Structure 1
Amino acid sequence: MVHLVEPRLSGLARNPAAPTGTLVRLAAHTAGRAGLRRRKGPLPDPVADAMLTHGGRDAATLLRPNRISPAVRRRIAEHPDPAIRDAHADFVRTMVARGVPLGLDALVDAYGLPPEELAAHGDPKVRAVLAQDWHDRPPAVHEMLLTDPDPDVRAAAARAQHLGIPSALTERCLADPAVRTHIVHRLPLTQEQFERLLATGDPSVLASVAAHPALTPAMVARLEDSEDPSVRVAVAYSRHVTPDTRDRLLALVEAESAAGGIDAEVALHWSSYRPAWLRDAPLAERLSYLDCPHPAFRKVLATSPGLPEEAWRRLDEDPVVSVRFAAARRHDVPAEVLLRLVREHGDPATGLPGLVAHPRFPRHELRGLAEEPDPRVRFLALEDPLLPAAVLRRLGGAEETFLRAGVARHPNIEVPLLERLLSDPDPEVVEEAAANPALPEAWMDRVPAEAGL
């Protein structure tokens, strides 16, 4: 979070080249402490001590144990002020009461108990957070949490998908309203179990059942008349429905979405439903979906292996950009396909590595992107670590804040431009400039001095 009042101080506190003495000075200011909390890596002892001196309980709360030395941890544990001694543990306990996981180490440190004892803690909120934080718990502990007397604990345990459900507990879990929604799609589903789950009438259970990857054609047929948009979408994505049924179900959901239906909008565009089975279908079956009118199928098709060249050509020219992006992530995509896609549509953040990071992206073309009219595309030129100074100066004068901030972070920036960006009207740009390791040492002394530190 950028410090809006003193972004120079918070940025300099994040600067990996800032000397320890400078960081100690910055710890005397709230903006400096805000930057130090976001600084990567462990804090030197003098800096941690200065934060405690000037920030008191607030600083102690956010001095995570993995960022400070054992010596500083001992000093906090022996501090005469109980508010400082207990600050971090109190913070963890507050988060636990709100159901916010902070990691197993934080739990063990705050409660002073090993994980096995926390699993039997008297407070169900502790057990529920432990179920979220302890990812490699032993089978016996997992079973204990799945059968905990508190439904929130059982639900938290069931959400750990990688741990599975012991076969001896399957029926018990399917009968448990707190658990069954989270496990249905991960269990083999018999016809009898399917009927019992449908009989619950619980919309969340029906949506989970509809998303089961191994429903039989008969099961799918039983779900076709559901009025729940999530169920309709999941059924439409099944391999067991006819094209006409698929078109009908998706048209109904699309009409609901167009009329302002939030549930329909979520089911269409924000849910996890995907026709994932198509990825591993026989080649002939996969190719039959090249002409599918529903982009979700073409998008999954674009992630499948072994397609013929003509299929890739069509996917690379698909009218839906997300399909083209999916196809462009294949390992042998032509470099010109990547470059054309980036020039036309940028490289949107999706949680996946960007197209400019693809091994086949022509990185020698990066600096040419600085001439493109779309600022999102010009921004990608900054991926070139040797971008010429003249290009950086031009981009540093852009109207868009995100472009100037990107220039302020660039490793090849010249000092005069960096100094200019330290006075930018936008705090984000100023903070990024102050955090750049290229900042001269004289400025690292001048910034705190101008703030009276």
Structure 2
Amino acid sequence: MPSSLLYAVAVNPALPPALLDRLIHAADTDQELAEALADRPDLGPEQVRRLAERDGHTAVWLAHRGLLGAADVDPVARPLVALALLDEGRGDPAWARRLARDPDPYVRERLAACPGLPAETAELLAADGSAEVVAELGLHTDRPELLTRLAAHPRAEVRRWVAANEAAPPGLLTALLTDGDVRVRRQAAGNPGTPGAAAARHVVDHPTVRRQLSEHPGLPAATYHRLADDRTSWVRGNLAENPGIDLPLMHRLASDEEEGVRRRLAHHPAVPLDLLERLATVVRIGPVLLPRIAAAEPAELARLAGSSEPRVRMLVAQHRGLPATVRDRLAADPDAAVAKSAAPHPGLASEQLTALLDRFGGKIATAVAANPGAPTALLDRIATTGPVPAKALRAIAAHPHAGPGTLARCLASPDRRTARAAASNPALPVEAIEALVRTACPGREERPPLEDR
């Protein structure tokens, strides 16, 4: 059996406890398997201990998941695991001073990113000989007096990350706008904590500063309009998604020569619906739920669902919280693209899904298979009516209603993603799971469970 299937079995919620023990033993020589097992929610204390002993990467992940505590970790032997606990706020504060003196600069750099460091530890890191360590502290600390000192650091790399820290005082960020290094000015220009009026004065600065400035949410309206004249489409694209721009600028950007700018405007959370309808006809937005559609009122959704333009109806069909009448209307839409967008909606009945498949066949098979309410019989029909789209079979392989025969077919698929999805599906019969584990881990039946050893 390909090792990738074994990793998929390792995360299957239906894996019997005895087989879980066997895979943990197998993980003694397989790091990827250990990491897959570390994701399971049903690990017992002894199983966690065995996995944590396997390697540092697995132990770090177990620590982040809350399965290891301070009493389980030696910060000298396993500093990265101790850092994971400190980062989660569950480590021993006494570790911080020790780790701040660790000879490995990577350890000190990771420590500098941890929240809530004791003042003494922060001072040690601020005086560190590695600029990378100090820069990391400058990005993450929330102590104003320390940020003020770091903003005067001789290394531009340190000042740059102070300028990116949203906890930096506004006056300090304003001062960094005049730094001699353009990278520092660029970070300060885009920091939302920088006063908008001060940042706006740098609209004539270096192109990279303007690019960062175009992301600032608090500039004067006139500055945004001035940035819209920038020849760089990246600047105009940033503006198109900026929550601070006004309605006249949205209309202006809707006619931008670059399709990418217009597409980004469609993702603006406050774009007017009439403008969004226009954008839907001039840019390829794709099958995505736009923020403005997600926030629309029921009456707005009903109006859009009645649009004569299929591309507008398709945007509405991506909404998974539609009123039932709107959802049903879109599921019965004569346009295949609209029906395809509506087909995964969890509220659709089996009869509606069957009707969709009858009308559009393979064009919509993947979308129907992705519906969480699709019945076993319908999934079996899709899987056995050729040619089966690869994405449809992949969706079926992961579906909780997939039947045993269909899952067996998916396991044998030459498409690795399909086979992995089937191997990790909790609907996979226990007998099939046992067969997969026996094939990958022969000769381990005689080994007793961990708790009995």
Q: Give your verdict on TM over 0.5.
A: yes
Question: Is 1:167 aligned to 2:154, yes or no?
Answer: no
Q: Say if 2:404 and 2:428, in contact at 8 Å, map to a contact too.
A: yes
CA–CA separation in structure 1 for the residues paired with 2:122 and 2:218:
34
Report Cα offsets for 1:26-49 as digits up to 9, x if no partner: 234469753452333363344345
Q: Say if 2:365 and 2:389, in contact at 8 Å, map to a contact too.
A: no
RMSD (CA atoms)? 5.1
Aligned position for 2:106: none
SS of 2:396's equivalent in the other structure is helix
Residue among 239, 247, 250 paired with 2:256: 250
Residue among 440, 443, 449 paired with 2:429: 440
Residue among 222, 226, 233 paired with 2:230: 226
SS of 2:413's equivalent in the other structure is coil
Q: Say if 2:12 and 2:425, in contact at 8 Å, map to a contact too.
A: yes
CA–CA separation in structure 1 for the residues paired with 2:410 and 2:249:
59
Report Cα offsets for 1:89-121 as digits up to 9, x if no partner: 5998xxxxxxxxx86769987948762455442
Instruction: Give the TM-score normalised by structure 2.
Output: 0.65
Deviation at residue 203 of structure 1 after TM alignment: 0.9
Report Cα offsets for 1:186-224 as digits up to 9, x if no partner: 34433x7533x1343x11222343455565565456546
| Comparing 378-387 and 109-118, the one that deviates more | 109-118
Aligned position for 2:65: 66
Matched positions, count: 397
Decide whether aligned partners of structure 1 residues 305 and 157 sit closer, same or farther in structure 2, where only a CA change above 3 A counts. Answer: farther
Deviation at residue 140 of structure 1 after TM alignment: 3.7
Question: Is 1:209 aligned to 2:213, yes or no?
Answer: yes
Q: What does 1:308-347 align with in structure 2 at a 5 Å threshold?
A: 312-313=303-304, 316-318=307-309, 320=311, 324-325=315-316, 334-339=326-331, 343-345=336-338
Aligned position for 1:44: 44
Aligned position for 2:32: 34
Question: Is 1:450 aligned to 2:442, yes or no?
Answer: no
Decide whether aligned partners of structure 1 residues 216 and 369 sit closer, same or farther in structure 2, where only a CA change above 3 A counts. Answer: same
CA–CA separation in structure 1 for the residues paired with 2:250 and 2:142:
45
Identity in percent: 18
CA–CA separation in structure 2 for the residues paired with 1:72 and 1:396:
51
CA–CA separation in structure 2 for the residues paired with 1:272 and 1:106:
44
Residue among 375, 380, 388 paired with 1:393: 380
Instruction: Give the TM-score normalised by structure 1.
Output: 0.65
CA–CA separation in structure 2 for the residues paired with 1:302 and 1:434:
36
Deviation at residue 393 of structure 1 after TM alignment: 2.0
Q: What does 1:25-424 align with in structure 2 at a 5 Å threshold?
A: 25-29=22-26, 34-38=32-36, 39-41=39-41, 43-51=43-51, 55=54, 60=59, 63-64=62-63, 66=65, 68-70=67-69, 73-74=72-73, 77=74, 85-86=77-78, 88-89=80-81, 111=99, 115-116=117-118, 119-120=122-123, 121=125, 122=128, 123-129=130-136, 138=142, 140=144, 143=147, 147=151, 149=153, 150-156=155-161, 158-159=163-164, 163=167, 165-176=168-179, 177-184=182-189, 186=192, 187-190=194-197, 194-195=200-201, 197-200=202-205, 202-212=206-216, 216=220, 218-219=222-223, 222-223=226-227, 225-232=229-236, 239-240=247-248, 250-251=256-257, 253=258, 267=261, 269=263, 278-279=271-272, 312-313=303-304, 316-318=307-309, 320=311, 324-325=315-316, 334-339=326-331, 343-345=336-338, 356=344, 361-363=347-349, 365-371=352-358, 373=360, 375=362, 377-385=364-372, 387-397=374-384, 399-424=388-413
> Unmatched 5+ residue regions in structure 2?
101-110, 445-453
CA–CA separation in structure 2 for the residues paired with 1:34 and 1:169:
46
The residue identity in structure 2 corresponding to 1:378 is A
CA–CA separation in structure 1 for the residues paired with 2:372 and 2:305:
34
Report Cα offsets for 1:320-372 as digits up to 9, x if no partner: 45983499578658224542579525777xxxxx98457xx545534544446
Higher RCO (C-alpha under 8 Å, 6+ residues apart): 1
Q: Say if 1:316 and 1:324, in contact at 8 Å, map to a contact too.
A: no
